Every structure is written in C-alpha cells, then in structure tokens.
Amino acid sequence: MKHMLAREAKLIESQRLAIQADIDTGKSAAERNRLGQFATPNALTADIARYVESILGPAKRGIRFADPAIGSGSFFSAALTVFGARRINSAVGVELDPAFADAARTLWSSAGLDVVQGDFTRIVANDICPSAPNVILANPPYVRHHHLSRDDKERLQALTLKMTGIDVSGLAGLYVYFLLLATAWMEDDGIAAWLIPSEFMDVNYGAALKRFLANRVTLIRAHRFDPDDVQFGDALVSSVVLVFRKTQPAADHAVEFTFGGTLAEPHVRDVVPRERLRESRKWTVYPSHAKNDRRTLSDSNGPTLGDFFRVQRGIATGCNKFFVLDRANAKVIGLPDKYLRPILPSPRYLKTTSVDTDADGYPILDTQLCVIDCDLPEPMVEARYPVLWEYLQTAQSLGIMDGYLISKRCPWYKQEQREPAPFLCTYMGRGADDKQPFRFIWNRSKAIGTNLYLMLYPQNRLATMLRKYPDRAKTVHVLLGQITGYELRGEGRIYGGGLNKIEPSELARISANSFVEHWPEIELDVRPQGTLFG
Ligand SMILES: C[S@@+](CC[C@H](N)C(=O)[O-])C[C@H]1O[C@@H](n2cnc3c(N)ncnc32)[C@H](O)[C@@H]1O
C-alpha cells in the first residue's frame, strides 16, 4: 500500500466531506432513497474502525480492506487513519453510482484504494470479483424490499442461496443480501463490521440473518444506537453495528450486546450466550437493562392479550380522502345512510380515549365521520341510488381506481368487513420510559377504525364475562391503560426518531397477567401440555 501520511489523509478527508455534500445536494430525496445513499458520519466510521482494530490486535498484519458500498469512502478514510497506511496491504471499494465511484477514485486512489464501479451483488458473483478481503467495514444501501424489482429479488435470493445456503425472505431489504454475500466473499477468519438497520433483530424476515449470525459466524458485538438519538439526520431508521469474525462460533460463545451512547462508550452492556440468542425471537431486548427502550417484561408462559382478545387491524379503504366523509357532508350530498358506516377519525384527531355513542351508533365527537361501504353491483347502484352513483363516478378523476386495493375489490367500493370493536389501540406512536407509545380507546359507538388502529375483540372467557357484566368494560380499559410503555415497545418495533409501531400479532403477545389477577375466573382451562403432568 502506498505510504500516506496521516496529515495527507486528513486533508483528503476534508475534501471528501465537501464532495459528499455536493453530490448529496444534487440529488433528490427519492433518488437517494432508491440507492440507499446516506453517508456515515466520519466520527462513527472512526469509532467502528477503532473497535475493529481492538479485535485485530497488534499481531495481525496485512489488512486487505473492502467496503462493498464505498460511497465517497468514509470507511476507507477511517481505516487509513486508524489502521495506518502501512498496515493496509490492499483496499477495494465497490460503488454502483458513477458519481460516487468517480469521487472515491479521485480522492483515494493515491492512497491505494481500488474502486470498482458496478453493482456489488453482481460483481461478487462474477469471475472478475476482486480477491477476498480480510476486513470489511460497511454501511450498505438500506433499500427496502418493495423498491427491489421482482426479477432483482429473485436473482438476489437465488444467488444468496447458492453462495451461502441461506434462504432469504422476500421481505428483506437489500442490506441483508449485501451482508450475506460479502461475508461469503470475505476470507475465512476475516473480521467484518456492518452498520445496518436494527429492524431485522425483531421481525420475521430477519430470522435467516439472525440464524446466520448465531450459527455461522462468531458474532462478537452488537451495538444498537438509541433510536431517540438518530444517527443520520435524514435516514429514518434506527441502526445497529454488528462486528463478527468469519469462523464457526464455539458452543459456549457469548455475544456482547450494548445499547445507547457510542460504540466506545455505550450506556449499557450485557453478555448474551449464543444459546440464548438462538432461542430469542427478538434481539433488541438485549442488553436487558432499564435503560434499553426495548427490554420486555412480557411473561412468555403466562396468559397474553391474544388469549382474551382477537386483535385485527382496522380497514384499509384504499383512499380515505374519497371513501371517508364528514357525516354532515354526506347528508348534504344525499348519500344513502344504508351504505355509510360510522368510522373513527384518525388517532391524530381523536383527542379522547373514551368514545360515547349517539342514538345512531355514531361516536359523540365534534366531527362525525362515515365510510362508504356498499356491496351492490354497479348497475344496481346506478338504478337505485343515483346520488351515490354520481359520487362514485368522481373516483375516476381522482385517479384512485388503479390503486392496488381498489382494483382488487369487488365491487370496488365494498370495504373489508369489520364489526365495531369495544377496544382499539392506535397503531403508531411515540413515548419513552413508562409512557405508552400507543393509546387504548374504549369505544361504545358502532364506529370501526381505519388501519391506523388495531381493533380488539374480546374472546373466550373475557367475552363471556363482559356479556354478563357489561360494566366491567371500563375496568378492561383501565387494565389496558396500565400496560407499561416498556412492554408495548418491547413487543412492537421501533423506527428512527423514536417512532413505534405494533402489529396485531405483537400486541397479542403482551402479558395479560393483570386480567387474570383481577378476574381469576377468566383464566383459560387449557394450559401448556407440559404443565399438565407436572
Ligand atoms: C449507505 S451508503 C454508504 C456509503 C459509504 N460507505 C458511507 O458509509 O458513507 C450506500 C452506498 O451504496 C451504494 N450502492 C447502492 N446500491 C449498490 C450496489 N448494488 N452495489 C454497490 N453500491 C451500491 C450507494 O450509491 C451508496 O453510495
């Protein structure tokens, strides 16, 4: 590697920052999203390089560096500063975008960086693939799966299966393929550090990657940043740094999990045996510490909300602007009552957690809303309800007819069928510490909710009890309100900037111990089989 003084490297780094900012401002947000173009701050790449250096130790000489998504070279810059040019035998960066590839080449070729312009996921499968690195530092493009074409996804899945034996879910983002393919490329015993979204740690599509990290490489460290402290001003994701060695893990291996603060000075840490990781559905609960926003208190053996509520998402209309109307307006227009259903306003506009009903089943709120829901075929609507027919015709000019949901429905103005639910939970929200990120609504009206709500229908013995003692619904609402923010965040998922979301199956997994403590008679008869013979 050409010898470069630290002073020179520093100078080039300041030029890099200027060029990076130039390229960034010349691109639209959509363009940057498409290629996952969010540069890593230099302080973070330096932190990552220093941590990797601490693992390499002084004995390891001859680094062969690679970054499969080099951008303007933030990681290479850090590698030069931290490892020193003398120690780097070779360095290669792959970059799809010619603007970044050219920039990286101009900036760093004098320091020995070899820049290959092209799609890493194709290059890695090719004979011309540069020789295997032994150190990879990377922040791959986060491109979400719905921005990958079907062909591309199939190609990536087939290639990853061939190169690693791992069957990646079609819901995985591009970064999952990057990590797996680059690890296949890396030399055995090499060290890799990846800055990736932490979402995979909790969701189903991340299962294959978690298995890979627990079984196929030796995961040394997983540091998750506090989502309230967004690393990239403009990328709304929370991220984790994974550092691993490409070698089979020892049976008794344990992984260091840290959270918050910086990689060098995390707020909390914990050492988690690999065996436990293999059985853990969610990895963001580690390190298990009060400061971790995701530590879960749910008791996996006890009763859960799913035992007492059927949880279902509210309806997706395909276009609320068109289908959801102010009830008063619908009356002025003359839309037939029969095909209008009461619906709650979006959580943003619902200021209360307790909704009363008027005589028609509409919520007593300043603005009452209704949703058009009609199952009559078009000719009948035209013949019998000309006003509704006329209103429906306006959908054409709004250009909503080609939308996925609407084009699949028959007739296209018939909504998913939901009964009103006595309890609802908002689907997204914020909240730290004990504050609930989601609100539970007690609904006495006949209104349903849109998909910004989860609808909770009492079932099993709770439903029987409520039929007998309807007044107890109030206490049910109180108990739902007492579920802690920790539990809700622990089961849900978190996005950058502290936005939380919870899916029906996640809400169903929350402990319902307090319900059984309050009303022991509602406990289910059927206990897990193993306990029957205890
Ligand atoms: C998140 S950025 C990271 C850039 C740089 N490594 C850093 O840390 O600042 C990801 C980079 O990958 C590039 N990229 C996107 N798709 C790629 C692909 N298929 N092959 C190689 N590079 C790609 C983007 O243009 C972008 O520069």
Looking at ligand 1, which atom is closest to the CA of residue 120?
20
Q: What is the pLDDT of residue 234?
A: 41
Q: What is the pLDDT of residue 72?
A: 96
Q: Give me ligand 1 centre to Cα 229, in Å.
A: 23
- From 37, 123, 155, 156, give the residue whose CB has the most ligand 1 atoms within 8 Å, as the site to mutate: 37
> From CA 352, how far away is CA 364, in angstroms rounded?
11
The pLDDT score that the predictor gives to residue 2 is 55
Which atom of ligand 1 is nearest to 20's Cα?
Answer: 9
Please provide the DSSP assignment of 143-194 as one string: --GGGS-HHHHHHHHHHHHHHH-----TT--HHHHHHHHHHHHSPTT-EEEE
Residue minimizing CA distance to atom 8 of ligand 1: 40
* 90 Cα: distance to centroid of ligand 1 (angstroms): 20
- pLDDT value of residue 68: 98
In the beta sheet, which residues pair with residue 315? 450
Distance CA 137, CA 242 (A): 10
Predicted confidence (pLDDT) per residue in 142-165, tens digit: 888 888 999 999 999 999 999 999
Which is nearest to 218 in space by CA: 242, 186, 246? 246
Asked if 76 and 92 touch (Cβ cutoff 8 Å), the reply is no
Q: What was the pLDDT predicted at 3?
A: 61
Could you say which DSSP state residue 362 is in? -
Name the average pLDDT for the chain. 90
Tokens describing residue 282 = 């969610």
Between the CA of 140 and the centroid of ligand 1 the distance, in Å, is: 6
Query: Which tens digit of pLDDT belongs to each residue from 361-419?
Result: 999 999 999 999 999 999 999 999 999 999 999 999 988 998 889 998 999 999 999 99
Indicate the helix (H) or strand (E) that contains 423.
Answer: strand 423-426
Nearest CA to ligand 1 atom 15: 35
Closest alpha carbon to 287 in 279, 301, 277: 277
Q: What is the pLDDT of residue 526?
A: 44
By most ligand atoms within 8 Å of CB, the mutation choice from 77, 97, 147 for ligand 1 is 97
Q: How many CB atoms lie within 10 A of CB 209?
A: 22
Give the chain's residues under pLDDT 50: 232-236, 297, 299, 526-534
Q: Which atom of ligand 1 is nearest to the CA of 141?
A: 10
pLDDT on residue 59: 59
Question: What's the CA-to-centroid distance between 315 and ligand 1, angstroms?
Answer: 37
Q: Kindly state the helix (H) or strand (E) to which residue 67 belongs, with its residue range.
A: strand 63-67
What distance in angstroms lies between residue 39's CA and the mean position of ligand 1's atoms? 8
Cα 210 from Cα 216, distance rounded (Å): 10
Index of the ligand 1 atom closest to the CA of residue 45: 8
Q: Ligand 1 test: best mutation among 27, 35, 75, 177, most atoms within 8 Å of CB?
A: 35
DSSP 416: P
**What is the whole-number distance in angstroms between the Cα of residue 95 and the centre of ligand 1?**
6
- Residue 67: CA atoms inside 13 Å, Cβ hemisphere, count? 30
Q: Which residue among 105, 124, 139, 178 is best mutated to probe the pocket of ligand 1, counting the most ligand atoms within 8 A of its Cβ?
A: 139
Residue 481 C-alpha to ligand 1 middle, in angstroms?
A: 44
Between the CA of 141 and the centroid of ligand 1 the distance, in Å, is 5
Mutate to test the pocket of ligand 1, among 96, 113, 137, 181 (most ligand atoms within 8 A of CB): 96
Supply the residue whose CA is at minimum distance from atom 16 of ligand 1: 35
Spacing, Cα 190 to ligand 1 middle (Å): 21
What distance in angstroms lies between residue 179's CA and the mean position of ligand 1's atoms? 13
Pocket lined around ligand 1, Cβ cut-off 6 Å? 35-40, 67, 69-71, 74-75, 94-97, 100, 119-121, 139, 141
**CA 194–ligand 1 middle distance (angstroms):** 13
What does the pLDDT read at residue 330? 98
- Neighbouring residues of 458: CB distance < 8 A, sequence distance ≥ 6: 308, 309, 422, 423, 466, 476
Cα 73 to averaged position of ligand 1 atoms, centre (Å)? 10
State the pLDDT at residue 527: 41
Atom 11 of ligand 1, residue of closest alpha carbon: 69
- Residue 244 in contact with residue 219, Cβ under 8 Å? yes
- Specify the ligand 1 atom closest to the Cα of 142: 1
Report the nearest-CA residue for atom 12 of ligand 1: 69
Question: Measured in angstroms, how far is the CA atom of residue 117 from the centroid of ligand 1?
Answer: 11
DSSP per-residue codes, 101-150? HHHHHHHHGGGTEEEEES-HHHHTTSTTPPPPPSEEEE------GGGS-H
Burial level of 386, CB count in 10 A (0-12/13-18/19+)? Answer: exposed
pLDDT in tens, 238-259: 789 999 999 999 999 999 999 9
Kind plus residue range of the DSSP H or E element containing 242: strand 239-245
Q: How far apart are CA 66 and CA 44, in angstroms?
A: 17
CB 496 within 8 A of CB 236: yes
- Closest C-alpha residue for ligand 1 atom 27: 71
